Amino acid sequence: MRVLITGAHGQVGHELMRCAPAGFELVGLGSAELDIANAGQVAEVVARVQPQLIINAAAYTAVDKAESDAARAFAVNRDGVAHLACAAERLAIPLLHISTDYVFAGDAAKPYRESDPTGPTGVYGASKLAGEQALAEQCSRYLILRTSWVFGAHGNNFAKTMLRLGRERDSLAVVADQHGGPTAALAIAKMLWRLAERYRSNGTLPWGVYHYSGAPACSWHEFAEAIFQQALEQGLLPRVPSMQGITTADYPTPARRPAWSVLDGSRLLNTFGIEQPDWRADLREVLRELASVG
């Protein structure tokens, strides 16, 4: 089965290219090779490649920059998804698409279910929600996967930033009043391939929106504590810096961050038998990979 992977050089795209099961022919394109915001490019590439499945890992993910660059954020996250959806529908093939916890307001008190009302508070979340809506309108066979707090050995992410700061500083202040589920890029990629294998076997899937994020829920402060402790154990840090928990108000950013980004993964479990990954075990593997490459 030939699969077109967009955003192939990003965190999840990189892992999708690395961990594909046998029997899939991959065509992976990064943004330099395919700008999904360009409708003509999308139509030409899809017509030439003739994929049997598209996995969209391309996105505008600069959350703060999006506040002053809304046109580009919507061009990629809304229009780009619409272009891929139209191309998939023309070929009568499915589109698997990655979305985000930022489609919610972040003011809940329990994990968000797929059916809960959305309410993004910033440009990034609004553009991703618009992409979800465009996909649902344009494509009859789609699966939207909402995830959160993505980290991995490849690309830029919180875990790698904390490692760098942990080497540079003796003390750090980390936000302690935002909660979510750290999710390894490799875990997301493996899960998407499980869905692709099921589609290849059955010719269909239970389409719709699903949540998939790491467990247990934690704060950024707790995530950083785990990163430092595991990094120390693996020899990536000479010592653990002292850490102060601060509030969101103490660390203002252009984009408002959700205070609550915890996603309920029960629909994915009940439908596909896929459990939420243990981010602590996945973090250990990411740090092991980083240690192996120096």
E-strand ranges in the chain read 2-6, 25-29, 53-56, 95-100, 142-147, 150-151, 171-175, 179-180, 183-184, 208-211, 218-219, 242-246
Beta-bridge partners for 52: none
Dihedral sign (CA 63, 71, 4, 88): positive
- The residue behind tokens 């996967």 is 145
Indicate the SS3 state at residue 110. Answer: coil
Question: What pLDDT is recorded for position 177?
Answer: 97
Q: Could you give the CA distance from residue 246 to residue 248 in angstroms, rounded to a whole number?
A: 7
pLDDT tens per residue, range 205-255: 999 999 999 999 999 999 999 999 999 999 999 999 999 999 999 999 999
Residues 209, 214, 220: CA angle, nearest 5 degrees: 115
Catalytic residue among 102, 124, 142, 212: 124
Question: What pLDDT is recorded for position 249?
Answer: 95
Question: What pLDDT is recorded for position 18?
Answer: 97
Question: What pLDDT is recorded for position 194?
Answer: 98
Question: What pLDDT is recorded for position 171?
Answer: 96
Q: For residue 137, is pLDDT > 90? A: yes
Which residues have CB under 8 Å from 105's CB, separation 6+? 118, 119, 120, 121, 258
Q: For residue 68, is pLDDT > 80? A: yes
CB 8 within 8 A of CB 57: yes
**Averaged over 167-175, what is the pLDDT?**
96
**Averaged over 55-59, what is the pLDDT?**
98
In the chain the domains, ranked by start, together with CATH numbers, are 2-157+182-214+262-278 (3.40.50.720)
- HSE, side-chain direction, 13 A CA sphere, residue 83: 24
Place 293 in a pLDDT band, splitting at 50, 70 and 90: confident
Q: For residue 42, is pLDDT > 80? A: yes
Q: pTM above the 0.75 mark?
A: yes
Q: For residue 263, is pLDDT > 90? A: yes
First to last CA, the chain: 36
Question: What pLDDT is recorded for position 220?
Answer: 98
Q: Could you give the CA distance from residue 75 to residue 82 in angstroms, rounded to a whole number?
A: 10
Dihedral sign (CA 140, 50, 39, 57): positive
Beta-bridge partners for 208: 143
**Averaged over 37-44, what is the pLDDT?**
98
What φ, ψ does residue 172 adopt, rounded to 5°?
-140, 150
Q: For residue 97, is pLDDT > 80? A: yes
Question: How many C-beta atoms surround the C-beta of residue 242 within 10 A?
Answer: 10
Q: Could you give the CA distance from residue 23 to residue 41 in angstroms, rounded to a whole number?
A: 27
Question: How many C-beta atoms surround the C-beta of residue 132 within 10 A?
Answer: 21
E-strand ranges in 1-157 read 2-6, 25-29, 53-56, 95-100, 142-147, 150-151
Examine the residue annotation and report whether 251 is marked as an active-site residue of this protein: no
Q: For residue 294, is pLDDT > 80? A: no
Residues 291, 293, 294: CA angle, nearest 5 degrees: 65
